[in-house]
Amino acid sequence: MAMFKAQYEQRGPVPQDVIRAVPLELPPPAAGQALVAMLASPINPSNLLTLTGEYGVLPPLPAIGGSEGVGRIAELGQDVSGLSVGQLVLLPRGSGTWVTHLLAEASALVPLPEAADPLQLAMLTVNPPTAALMLSEFVPLASGDWVIQNVANSGVGGYLMQLARRRGLRTVNLVRRESAVAATKAQGGDVVLVDGEGLAQRVREATGGAEIRLGIDAVGGSATDRLAQCLSEGGTLVNYGMMSGEPCRVAPSSLIFRGITLRGFWLVKWFREASRDAQRALYGELAQMVASGVLHARVHATFPVQKIREAVAAANGGERDGKILVTGGAA
């Protein structure tokens, strides 16, 4: 059985240039372990930043890419109960998931419903909780309230729209190109606009001048300031990404005279601070919604581990409509 891993031995400005597929050798699972055949693992912006060296936590080199996914148990070591060969499971968070196979502690594997789409389940660990927590942790919101976000056609953006609608919230969704408007509206966005000049005025016109107390920013740079100008007095702006590669910029007039607050969100930090009960409750709720199809994300393309450079290049490109996933070949 040929096994492969997507490994990088250095970091650099072009992520697809530093990673390659190489043969993988694994011993049989030891007591308490499971050998898992990887089914699917997404490429998230945080994965790309890890390859370029710009992420908040960097693994020692050499390292294997990937931080979430799903697989099927191929073999169990001794002293494992509650799991069976062939079972669909969620892979441990941050475990180097761009592989055809991996060894994991059986206790870290979470059984998943067989009827669900494994591609959708593969994206459960990072983007859905990011969207859910940004909607709940910063501003108390009630049904009918408005939220504004940029990069609304991203994975997090799509989940945020769907979760907001389930909670009775309304969303203003910004995209960077006209070609992304229709697909974003189809995902449930109440208002979809192309980010750019005159944004605050266009948002006021589209919402009838509604109060917007929460803004979600994944871009940084001048895009942060455009979002700030759309918020009501005393509003909160939450940044969780730096797609522009630039620091967040907010005009002093927004901070001083309008009381806008700029906050940051990092899912890793939430994991460090949240109780196990809180984590289980959140993931239990989200897993049910993903498994039932209530929450879903668009998939642009899939690539086998052996074509990891093509996969990373596609994820790093701007013109795509959905997530890129790495597949391991398991059935």
Residue closest to 145 by CA, chosen among 45, 239, 72, 212 = 212
> Strand pairing partners for 238?
216, 263
Angle at CA of residue 252, ends 205 and 234, nearest 5°: 55
Question: Three-class SS of residue 108?
Answer: helix
CA-based end-to-end distance of the chain: 14
- Residue 240 is among the residues annotated as catalytic for this protein: no
Cis peptide before 28 (omega within 30 of 0): no
The answer to whether 68 and 62 are in contact (CB under 8 A) is no
Residue-wise over 67-106: b if at least 16 C-beta within 10 A, else e?
A: bbbbbbbbebbeebeeeeeebbbbbbeebbbbbbbbbbeb
The answer to whether 46 and 266 are in contact (CB under 8 A) is no
List 8, 55, 240, 283, catalytic entry:
55
Residue 135 zone, left/alpha/beta (φ > 0; ψ -120 to 50; rest): alpha
Report which secondary-structure segment, H or E, holds 291. helix 276-291
Active site (catalytic) residues: 55
